[in-house]
Amino acid sequence: MSHPSKPTNAADLVNLVASYLREDLRPSLGGRHKFLALVAANALSIVARELQLGLAADRRECDRLAHLFSRAGDLDSLNRDLCEALADGRMDEDTPELLPHLFASTMDRLAIDQPQYAAYRRELSEYPDGYTMRLGGGDSFGSHTAPQHRGAAQ
């Protein structure tokens, strides 16, 4: 198993356990236990990516929502406001900067939850230095740089 001799943070520790399950323990197991070891390793890899990338993704999402609503707020309340605005028709696909926000938020979630997802990988390959959604007036509101994280993406 290839891993640092001493984990430097919580994400490294979680990745170390995931690597142990995937590379050391799983090959020695059979049937159901082999499958469950892989499920556990994959879940731990998601946790590690959340620890590495989640806070920055949440900050970017909150900043975009604050811009959309022209007011500060916490992520939960701003997302609640977004849901209400979409439900009652105050916002729709023609709302400036809404689609770039949704796209960037989706890309951030995929980086954490499913970094090997084919459409996500394809999008990253089209914009290797990051991408900018240019909808409507051509603003770069939806700017997003692919997150860099340590460890194998699982």
**3: confidence class by pLDDT, cuts 50, 70, 90:** low
Cβ atoms of 138 and 83 within 8 Å: the answer is: no
Q: What is the pLDDT of residue 146?
A: 57
Is 65 exposed, middle or buried (CB count within 10 Å of its CB: 0-12, 13-18, 19+)? buried
Using the predicted structure, report yes or no on whether residue 13 has a pLDDT greater than 60: yes
Each domain of the chain, given as residue ranges in start order, spans: 10-126
Q: Which residue has the higher pLDDT, 132 or 74?
A: 74
Burial category of 69 from C-beta neighbours within 10 Å (exposed 0-12, middle 13-18, buried 19 and up) = middle
Please tell me the pTM assigned to this model. Answer: 0.78
pLDDT at 124: 86
